[in-house]
Amino acid sequence: MTVDLKLEGVKPSFLMDKKELKKVFNLNSYEWWRNHRRVVTFGGFLILFAWYISPVIKEAAYKNRCIEIAEERILFSLKEKTEI
Residue 4 belongs to some domain of the structure: no
Choice among 2-6, 10-14, 60-64 with the minimum mean pLDDT: 2-6
Q: Provide the domain limits for residue 27.
A: 13-83
Model pLDDT, residue 34: 84
pTM: 0.46
Share of the chain above pLDDT 70, in %: 71
Report the 10 Å Cβ neighbour count for 35. 11
Residue 70 belongs to some domain of the structure: yes
* DSSP states along the chain: -------TT---GGGS-HHHHHHHHT--HHHHHHHHHHHHHHHHHHHHHHHHHHHHHHHHHHHHHHHHHHHHHHHHHHHHHHH-
State which amino acid sits at residue 55: P
Residue 8 belongs to some domain of the structure: no
Model pLDDT, residue 79: 84
Taking only the tens place, the pLDDT of each residue in 11-41 is: 665 666 777 766 766 666 777 778 889 999 9
What is the rounded distance in angstroms from the CA atom of residue 27 to the CA atom of residue 20? 10
Number of domains in the chain: 1
